[in-house]
Amino acid sequence: MKQKIQIALFVGAMLSGGFNAPLQAATAKKVEQQAVKKAVASAGKNSQVAKKTLASTASKKSPVKSASGNGRKAVLAAAEIPKKTMRRVSFSDVEHGRLALHSASVLVIDQSTGQTLFEKHSDAVLPIASISKLMTAMVVLDAKLDMQEIISIGEEEIDTLKGTRSRIPVGMTMTRETAMLLALMSSENRAAHALGRHFPGGMLAFVKAMNNKARALGMLNSSFEEPTGLSSNNVSTAHDLARMVAAAARYPEIRELSTTASAKVELKGRVKDFNNTNALVRSDSWEIGISKTGYISEAGRCLVMQARVADKPVVIVLLDSNGKMTRVGDANRIKRWMETDSMASERRPV
């Protein structure tokens, strides 16, 4: 009897100790594996959401310009834009303080100090496409022309170089202000060309003024052949464009028109909607003062901005990006990189 009791006690001890330990360990391991799977699934889901979010329209009550083709002044209104959620910092983008960008030529400058924060092939002379339109706008404004004067869109504005289309019909008339709005906001080539053609002295005088302005700004590696950027002979460097963007930021008209989110324009009795070619101007997470996009096959996708990032006024130049969203992705990577570095600086001991 005593021996049976001892055997029972021994079996109980084994169940409570020796056998239960592996069971508890296995259970704990299973729970841990389930937690890891949930975390991976959640991360994957968030990644998919981030990809969709990056391409979605950003949120805020963006100014919408209403402009009439018969010369009536543009009027500001408000429009609701679907809310955009920015994805969190990806350590693959900013790992160990390094910044991986996909644009061929990049320059980021702190305007308050003049310090170069990041550069990549910033002295390469490249076609700049519609970034040229910032120079076009400055030349028009420097001439102090009547912005409410009616100008026409003629057959001269048809693109015979690249064969691009336009939503502005030949024979249309509009104010010079409306033409500048469409050139800067929607990158309308016919509008930009008409601005040059209606310049005192015509197109030759206008192109000469563009190049004189470039030299005055110290853009020594830049050259302009026409006002739209359709010509691949409109060339510059990231350093020169940073000078041009900083200069353009001093014009209130360019700041307003280049960052207008969308506009309703009356064309031959019909109202058409035009949108900004830079989706970032509709983002709540961006504070943009100047914006211009550009694209021709020789130049790739381009983007220049003057913005406030991590509480610093910066100029961002992105040239020759592959893919429609690469330049936007690079701009967001720069922003996250700067904000992450700023937060790290605040945490460093003094």
Catalytic residues: 130, 133, 187
CB-count exposure of residue 42 (10 Å: 0-12, 13-18, 19+): exposed
Q: Which two tokens stand for residue 245?
A: 């963007």
Question: Which stretches of the chain are assigned E, i.e. beta strand?
Answer: 62-68, 75-79, 105-110, 116-120, 126-127, 150-152, 173-175, 235-236, 262-267, 270-275, 287-296, 300-309, 312-321
Q: Which two tokens stand for residue 254?
A: 């360019």
Q: 185, 260 in Cβ contact below 8 A?
A: yes
Q: 283, 265 in Cβ contact below 8 A?
A: no
**Pick from 328, 198, 209: which is nearest to 318 by CA?**
328
Q: 118, 109 in Cβ contact below 8 A?
A: no
**Pick from 171, 163, 219, 217: which is nearest to 189 by CA?**
163
**Pick from 325, 180, 319: which is nearest to 255 by CA?**
180
